[in-house]
Amino acid sequence: MSGTQDPLVEPDRLAGELDRAVPPVLLDVRWRLTGPPGRDDYAAAHLPGAVFVDLDTDLCGPPGAAGRHPLPDPAALQAALRAAGVRAGHPVVVYDGGDGMAAARAWWTLRWAGHRDVRLLHGGFPAWLAAGLPTSTAVPTPEPGDVEVRPGALPVLDAGRAAALAAAGDGVLLDVRAAPRFRGETEPIDPVAGHVPGAVNLPAPAYVVDGRFPAAAALRQRFAAAGVTAGRPVGAYCGSGVTAAQAVLALHLAGRPDAALYVGSWSEWVADESRPVATGE
């Protein structure tokens, strides 16, 4: 990733950084789409010094017409991040339960909010355990941070821009949900099955496996097979903008920091019955 910070950090390196006099702020964002809450996992054991941040209530806005995980209110996000000890210009590391989805959405949200120095623990909590590193049940009381949320530092798609990108021959809109959901054969969560007309299906296992990303060259090859090539605008969506944030992270790793996230994703798209729905391949 020439000229940009590597957004991933391995457990051993993070352990060394946490031993410094001024360690990075550590955010535990463990989360499951259908529950139970990640706070229970945090209470059982977490990385020493980590502060729990709730994806649903701290990093996203309330569900509604804008989708199940819409953009947060900037003032509310700033308050949550300051309560977690996030400081302007100070490094932040986020981690989840291992699949990398919630951590990727947290990484994306902080980057979107203008905080540049944020990384994801590669492999999440399981990778930390596998490395034989210590855990804690102590709940820290961080000194309040002073981060200022400045929205818009990463590109965002709304429904109109997502439709235009999918329809444009010079761009590609990636739908990273499982193929049966893309084809409209099943829809376990949202009220309508199918996909945005013109979108290209690239399910998450093509670019991440068990929360770990392949090398940049392999990522570029896999995205290129889906039509993502140099100079072609690219965006990604999923059900509610969480898995797609992981795709945007993978695109950053592949050298595409311009990749846009359709935050509302399918859950916003189908909230308006006038929007077209495609099925099949």
Torsion-angle region of 19 (φ positive above 0: left; ψ -120 to 50: alpha; else: beta): alpha
Of 29, 53, 156, 238, the catalytic one is: 238
Torsion-angle region of 125 (φ positive above 0: left; ψ -120 to 50: alpha; else: beta): alpha
**Is the separation of the CB atoms in 9 and 93 below 8 Å?**
yes
| Edge-first strand listing for the sheet containing 156-157 | 156-157, 260-262, 234-237, 172-175, 200-201
Residue 64, CA atoms < 13 Å, CB-side half-sphere = 5
Q: Six-digit token pair at 53? A: 């941040």
- Four-CA torsion 199, 6, 145, 245, nearest 10 degrees: 10
In the residue annotation, 238 being an active-site residue is answered as yes
Output the CA–CA distances (angstroms, integers) from residue 218 to 159, 189, 214, 233, 248, in the order listed: 30, 32, 6, 20, 15
Q: Six-digit token pair at 130? A: 């596998």
Annotated catalytic residues are: 238
